[in-house]
Structure 1
Amino acid sequence: MRPHASVLHLDLDAFFAAVEQRDKPSLRGKPVVVGGTGGRGVVSTASYEARAYGVRSAMSTREARARCPHAAYLSGRFEAYRSTSAAVMAVLRDCSPLVEPLSLDEAFVDLAEAGLPDLEVSTVTALAEELRARVREVTGGLTASVGVASSKFLAKIASDLRKPDGLVVIEPGTELDLLRPLHVSVIPGVGPATVERLRRAGVHTVAELERVSQEELVRLVGKAQGQALFHLARAEDDRAVVPDRETKSVSVEGTYETDLTDRQQMSAIVTRQANEVAKRLRASGLSGRTVTIKVRLYDFTTLSRSSTLPAPTDDPATVARLARTLLEDLDTSGGVRLLGVGVSGLADWIQEDLFAAGSEAEAPEESAPDVEDEPDQAGARWRDTGPQSWAPGMDVVHAEHGRGWVWGSGRGVVTVRFETAETPPGPVRSFRADDPSLSRWQ
């Protein structure tokens, strides 16, 4: 551990849902669920009002609707999330040159490079409060939970302790005092299966975990996870804050509130991500040769695997097939907190007949992508799907009534609530789906 609390972890609270509530006054203070809205959809983010009913990220939309049928279920607006995230990351980079984004709504910051006069607890606490205030200002009122500690592991735990809109600074020398009484599930990667294995061994708290030998932990949960738990139970984590470098690729990735352990579920998520990447490639008139998957494990270890095709493609079945194959070669038994699929080696052409065979049978059977996935900073612009596909939550404008958003659609009718972030809750009107006066707001 560092001698000072100089690693900051910032996590925007219920980010996608919070952006929707910010921009849709009628949804403020009400349950909001962002994700795939169809029968095979997956929840990306649930507002805290929806979480009170048991709705969580990575849950099927079908189960979420059963738990909270009165919530607003929205398909997501990537441009709004990306632009809001960019504003937050700019604030963090103004503070320190070492910023490591984990996703659109989460990042580590190395305060040792922030030019502070000292790294005393009072100094870093004041800076953290200033960052939270600046984030609220540049995002139009969004809140962030922040943790500051002597390592990335501890900073992440600290930011989770007082959600939402909280700040916890762990003073150097008190790390183990804070950790020991906590339940073992606070450690990244300790999901329900691992909790049960540890419970059977009489281990419930971090203090009890600390007393277990490394050999016994390896026997209980496997080599990789056992070794990681042995060190994390002792607050041992010397990983540096490493800023991401921009890559010339199109990709989507999702971070999940509960670590994923089901291989079939991960395969389904990767397939949806591949479908979305291919759609973005086509929307931008691009194709690519190299398919890459990104996997962040329970202990924040990030793995990537790539496969290069003989010619560029934008075919969703081809991208999905390669992504699933790459995933199969990785050990994800300890739990996965982030999954992503990307395509690089971009070109502006494809060899049409090279991948034609079998594409239709293997392509995901979804008319629209599920939105548990987050576009990366270099991702292609979201495709305008046209007036025949009015997605819930989509920004629209009417020639007479002005700006609003899609409340719902079906049977040739689209219902719109007319309001924006700057107006009070607005009226609801229904129109023909092909009404020429209604169009998507760019």
Structure 2
Amino acid sequence: MHNKLKQTLFTVAILFSSEMTLAASYDTLPKGVRLGGYRHVLTDGINSDYGSSSTESQYALKESLDAKNLESINDATKQYFEQLKSINPGAYDSFTFGEYAADAEGRVSVNGFGLGWGITNNLTAYFSVPIYKANVKLNIHRTKGNNHSETLNHINQNSNLTAEQKVIRDITAQLPDAKEELLQSIIVNYYQYKPIGNWEAQGLGDIEVGAIYKLVDAGDYGLAVAGGVVLPTGREDDPDTLQDISFGDGQSDIFAEVFTGRSFFKRKLDLDLNFRLTYQMSAEKRLRVPESYDFPLSREVDYFKEKLGNKVNLSFGPTYHFTHWASLSSTYGYELQGKSKYESSHSQANDILAHNSDSESHNIRLAASFSTVSLYQMKKFVMPLSVSLRAQKKIAGRNTPKHSQYELDFKFFF
């Protein structure tokens, strides 16, 4: 639920550029033929990530209800802790109502819609529109108790208490045990965040517009290139909400892509390789101004010039065609994102935000596809369409959420 969850754009968006083909990965639509597509993507519970050392850890926010975090809640708490510090600095330093942790689990689903059309036999243009639905569930629990009796012992070490200091001692002796409401009060009143709790939202993701051009088609092997833009139409991260998920990264992207493949055994077996490079443009963002590399919360908000790291995507794998209408494929996918850059008047915050902003992930995907295109061409089916079922699992990574996703893909040609 901390910054890694907040800053993550889950890449379950619809990438029709690599899924628009009739057969091999480098194929394009015939001239005048249009393709309509729908894809539903569902993730499992996202409650952990691969950290900077590539080890898995759970999403959790821990907050100690100590004097430093409590004294600014209101004037009464400020006065109490000022008096406590004057009586015994050790009592102030060690005071705690306890420690609480908030564990988070996020789920994301996407409904994607796309349209492609063959401008020529070698050139296909397309666009895709994803609609996100996401929710985050929080479980707040206590991890450490209070030390009121220890604080009282510190106070009693001073035998010459004034009348005001004796009042502080009596208040300390009668302090109640803290509940979750106190943690909520610190988050809202001290750090100025919106109340923490379960969160959900639905909205538009980033729209992709592009074109694919087939350079080579030699029967059993081929090559195509693609390019386009990703428009910042998706919901951005809210710096005042700890537990939200963004549907877009807030700036335009430019990408270039290469598809190549080779067929064997009279096109019974295909081997495909895709490579995609994405340049992410800079944009002005309203962000929290972090004060520590280790502590995720901060009070101040300001504007930063953010340049997210560029991305490289690579995927390859075989597809086996059992019949004219059924196939099974497996794909290995790799994604690498470079380190982000931040510019503002807060030099330390710039470095903290950029720290561990680079990432990589390794995925395995299995897919079963059913197509009536060949049957339609042989006049054995009423219309050309295809249906695919996919399952993808992230098997390793660095600075990236761990999750699996499941897809249902439907395309029809007209």
TM-score between both structures, scaled by the size of structure 1: 0.23
State the TM-score, normalizing by the size of structure 2: 0.24
Higher helix share goes to which structure? 1
Rg larger in structure? 2
Q: Give 1 or 2: higher strand fraction.
A: 2
